[in-house]
């Protein structure tokens, strides 16, 4: 009378093997999903770091340019920084990713006059408030770029006086 019992036990063993294999598959799927998620997270973090470095480098260039450019070029008709509220907008390449893919960003520039500038220089100053006719401009550059689906902005303002 033991034979039927053994047969029943073997059936259960065979069934358990199937469950074990299914569990292995499920475990593998979970592990692969977790590693995929970790990889995506790490890659996204890396893209963020790299684009931050590139945008930092570009905005440093912008500051250096604003500090160095001759005053005549700032206030001239073809100035890179048009008088506020006009804004010049252009797409610039801030770097290249491995493989040579260009990373683009948008630069917005404008210049804001000091209120004590004489009217000819965009201000409301008078010969009394500004007897020397000094002229001050805030050169503002705003760099907008995208990492993933988020947009970031960096700005630098340089004061130029003469």
Partner 1 sequence: MRRSAPRRSAGYSLIEMALAMALTLGIAAAIVALLQQQVSFTRVLGRFHFLREEAPQINSLLATLVNKADSYRIYGSHAQAVAATGATTHDGRALRLRFRNPDGTASHAIVAFETQDGQNRLNFYFRNETQTTWPGTPSWTISSVPTLVDFSNDTGILLVAMTGPNGEQITYAGNPQ
Instruction: Name the site residues for partner 1 (rule: CB under 8 A).
Output: 3, 6-7, 10, 14, 17, 21, 24-25, 28-29, 31-32, 35-36, 39, 42-43, 46, 49-50, 53-54, 57-58, 60-61, 63-65, 67-69, 95-100
In Å, what is the CA distance from 57 to each residue of 16, 39, 101, 149?
A: 61, 27, 17, 22
Work out how close the CB of 80 gets to partner 1 at its nearest, in angstroms, rounded to a whole number.
Answer: 10
Q: Which of 93, 110, 87, 77 is nearest to 145 (CA)?
A: 93
In the complex, the smallest distance separating the C-beta of residue 79 from partner 1, rounded to whole angstroms, is: 14
- Cα Rg, the chain, nearest whole Å: 32
Task: Decide: 77 and 106 in contact? Cβ < 8 Å.
Answer: no
Minimum CB distance to partner 1 smaller for 66 or for 142: 66
Compare residues 68 and 132 and give the one whose CB is closer to partner 1: 68
């Amino acid at each position: 009378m033991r034979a039927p019992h053994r047969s029943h036990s073997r059936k259960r063993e065979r069934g358990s093997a199937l469950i074990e294999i299914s569990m292995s598959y499920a475990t593998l799927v979970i592990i692969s999903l977790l590693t995929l998620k970790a990889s995506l997270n790490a890659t996204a973090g890396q893209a963020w770091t790299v684009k931050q470095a590139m945008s930092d480098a570009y905005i440093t260039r912008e500051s250096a340019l604003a500090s160095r450019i001759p005053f005549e070029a700032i206030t001239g008709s073809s100035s890179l920084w048009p008088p506020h509220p006009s804004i010049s907008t252009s797409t610039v390449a801030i770097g290249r990713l491995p493989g040579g893919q260009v990373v683009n960003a948008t630069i917005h520039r404008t210049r804001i006059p000091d209120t004590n500038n004489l009217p000819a220089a965009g201000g409301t100053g008078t010969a009394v408030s500004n007897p020397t006719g000094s002229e001050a401009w805030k050169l503002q550059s705003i760099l907008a770029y995208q990492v993933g689906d988020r947009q970031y902005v960096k700005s630098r303002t340089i004061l130029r006086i003469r």
